[in-house]
Amino acid sequence: MRQDRRPYWVKKIYITFRTWYTNHFIRPACDLLGDYHTVMKPWYVHIGGPNIRIGKCATLVAEPDSWVRLGVWGAQPGLGSITIGDYVMISPGVRISAAESITIGDAVMMANGVYITDSDWHGIYDRVRRDETPTPVVIGDNAWLGDNSTVLKGVTIGENSVVAARSVVTRDVPANVVVAGNPARVVRELDQSRDFVTRAHYFADPEGLRRYYDTIERQVLTSNGFFTWLRILIRPTVRD
């Protein structure tokens, strides 16, 4: 990764603008967006539909080619919900589509390209009419969904469990296991005698954590010159 050549004050302006954008456009689209959120490139996040709640200390990362999309399309206006707990990690390309109810616990991590849905959306034989049998999805605290994994309707994933990359989860997953494959099956049991260090621990003091990183960035970026950064921005092939 290239060294960040921005002066400290330039990065502070960018973060201030990013926070303003999130609060101005993303927060009103949610029924709740908790405090201490970090939404990277929020202009590539799409929130659609009612009853979408995201807890505190959430981290959402979006990219131009990998939007984060949370959508509720209930059977009737105002129906359907997505409820996401505290301390979650939502990576680029994550899609969460609810017809009835998707509930995601605290400290859940969703890697790139994860897809979660509680409905088939269309019938197998009648492709025109909407599927009338959505079934809720529940993902327990501290679960980890790997790259491009898919969680389908009616699934409950137990706390601490891991879904391997590119797995397709079609049935319930117990707590404290690793599942893999299509359809996903248990391939390993986790050692429950060991303590889990979760994102909840990491964000135990969110204000202190923010001050810590601000201090580090001030130390690292203060010596960066504005005109050097501008030259590299205009001519990125120039290396220093």
Residue in the block written with tokens 């790997």: 146
Name the 3-class secondary structure at 148.
coil
* Catalytic residue check, 37: no
Question: How many Å apart are CA 40 and CA 32, to the nearest integer?
Answer: 18
Assigned token pair, 218: 């001030």
The single residue of 24, 37, 122, 201 carrying the catalytic annotation is 122
Describe the crossing of helices 206-221 and 8-21 by its angle, rounded to 10 degrees: 140
Residue in the block written with tokens 């060991």: 194
> What is the DSSP code (8-state) at residue 40?
E
**82 contacts 100 by C-beta, under 8 angstroms:** no
Question: How many Å apart are CA 14 and CA 231, to the nearest integer?
Answer: 18
Residues with Cβ within 8 Å of 150's Cβ and at least 6 positions away in sequence, in order, are 114, 115, 116, 167, 168, 169
Q: Which residues are annotated as catalytic?
A: 122
